[in-house]
């Protein structure tokens, strides 16, 4: 199953759930190394964590969850590791296709999908088609994704439209540029979480994260639990979000 049918009861909280949370799913390889296991075992464990966290986000009423699954730089990893990641993706896409209509779940992909196999591309197209039917909880999976690549792609598309006489350079504003990104129509993330102890954004949602709050933790992704997510949400609600203004 892509999503668990039953999950632990959501923890009680005195604050609302953020509308959109994004997660850099980091630490699978280190988790495996600590246990004397191959890196592929870490990715399998990390995929199970994704199930738990995605299910929990849905259950507590979150609107959007965006996860960083495979970056444009991850192709530098060994062929064995890349193949294992793509195999896991195929498995979960097949499960998703069976479950999305039943649970009214939306699943979208951000990234340049031209580099993945035709079989995987066809599966992502099928999930996109199913998603168009519903308006429920949405998971965005960043696959062969890079923030700089996304911005360059959007800039090229705007230049193409200008060259075709469809618009003029001076007409471009932030809202218009946002509509050229993979995340068009989706609100920017409120909170971005990075497990594993690394304190950097690694080319993730560079445009969309302009006013996001960040939460870093030393917990490796396979060990990340709903309780850890609640810690991040609680920390988020202690932040003073002024968006460049002054709170009166």
- The count of other CB atoms within 10 Å of the CB of residue 144 is 20
- The count of other CB atoms within 10 Å of the CB of residue 152 is 11
- The residue behind tokens 């009166």 is 248
Kindly provide the b/e burial profile for residues 206-233, where b requires at least 16 CB atoms within 10 angstroms of the residue's own CB. Answer: ebbbeebbbbbbebbbbbbebebbbebb
Distance, in Å, from the CA atom of 62 to the CA atom of 52, rounded to the nearest integer, reads: 14
Q: How is residue 71 written in tokens?
A: 């970056």
Q: How is residue 69 written in tokens?
A: 């699954």
Distance, in Å, from the CA atom of 117 to the CA atom of 56, rounded to the nearest integer, reads: 30
Kindly provide the b/e burial profile for residues 13-48, where b requires at least 16 CB atoms within 10 angstroms of the residue's own CB. Answer: eeeebbebbbbbbbbbbbbbeeeeeebbbbbbbbbe
CA atoms within 13 A on the CB side of 188: 16
Q: Contact at 8 Å (CB) between 227 and 219?
A: no
- In this structure, the chain runs to a length of 248
Judged by DSSP in three states, 231 sits in: helix
Q: Catalytic residue numbers?
A: 26, 74
């Amino acid at each position: 199953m892509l999503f668990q049918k039953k999950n632990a009861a959501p923890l009680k909280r005195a604050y609302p759930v953020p509308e959109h949370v994004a997660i850099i799913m980091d630490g699978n390889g280190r988790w495996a190394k600590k246990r004397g296991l191959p890196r592929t075992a870490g990715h399998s464990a990390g995929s199970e964590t994704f199930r738990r966290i995605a299910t929990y986000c849905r259950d507590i009423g979150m609107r959007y969850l965006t996860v960083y699954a495979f970056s444009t730089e991850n192709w530098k990893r060994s062929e064995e590791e890349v193949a294992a990641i793509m195999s896991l993706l195929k498995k979960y896409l097949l499960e998703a296709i069976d479950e999305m209509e039943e649970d009214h779940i939306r699943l979208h992909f951000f990234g340049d999908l031209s580099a993945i196999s035709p079989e995987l591309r066809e599966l992502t197209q099928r999930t996109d088609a199913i998603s168009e039917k519903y308006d429920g909880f949405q998971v965005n999976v960043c696959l062969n994704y890079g923030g700089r690549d996304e911005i360059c792609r959007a800039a090229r598309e705007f230049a193409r439209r200008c060259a075709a006489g469809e618009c003029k350079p001076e007409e471009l504003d932030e809202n218009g540029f946002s509509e050229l990104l993979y995340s068009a129509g989706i609100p920017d993330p409120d909170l971005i979480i990075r497990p594993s102890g690394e304190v950097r954004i690694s080319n993730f949602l560079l445009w969309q994260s302009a006013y996001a709050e960040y939460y870093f933790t030393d917990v490796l992704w396979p060990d990340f639990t709903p309780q850890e997510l609640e810690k991040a949400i609680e920390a988020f609600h202690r932040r003073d979000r002024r968006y460049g203004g002054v709170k009166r």
